[in-house]
Amino acid sequence: MLSRVFSKLPHAPNVLASRTYSTHAHTRTELIKRPRPLTIPDYPVKPPKQQIPSRFRPQPNYPKQEFRTFKDFCAAIGRDAAEHAEAFGDFQEFLKASSEELKQKGIDTRLRRYMLSMRHNHLQGKHVQEVKQSKKWHGGERNRRRFEAELEAKMRR
């Protein structure tokens, strides 16, 4: 039986035999393959380079920052937040405040969002320090082509 099945498969040299079985609707033939010999390359094989996701990378171990007053926190985060240092007397009061409460205290949107993100970083145990505000180049991403075209037109004059 095996010789008849194997003779039908001359194009597959690594096939050892086949097994036929039937299920409810179909009859199937399964090829039994020979195990491939283990080959060791002559050259050293390097493992593929993989990026380690940021959540698994070791983070610098900063000492936990203690802010007694809101003024200390504003001085640490920078970006003219010290102008609003009198808005909250106690730092714990700021930690419980919502975005709407910050808005009622007169803090503008961009600074308010920045302060809330720094508060989140502090509560996560990350080191809080000033992050400089980036400057738009050539009018910003959306206006770049128009800005460069206007600049080029001025240069031609």
Confirm whether 77 is domain-assigned: yes
pLDDT digits (tens, 9 = 90+) for 114-128: 999 999 988 888 888
The residue segments making up the domain with residue 17 are 2-33
Asked if residue 101 is part of any domain, the answer here is yes
**d(C-alpha 93, C-alpha 88), whole Å:** 7
* Residue bearing the bigger pLDDT, 65 or 110: 110
| Residue at 27 is within a domain | yes
Q: Indicate if 29 and 74 belong to the same structural domain.
A: no
List 20's β-bridge partners, or say none: 29
pLDDT at 118: 92
Residue 147 has pLDDT above 70, yes or no: yes
pTM of whole model > 0.95?
no
Phi, psi of 137 (to 5 degrees): -105, 130
90 lies in a domain?
A: yes
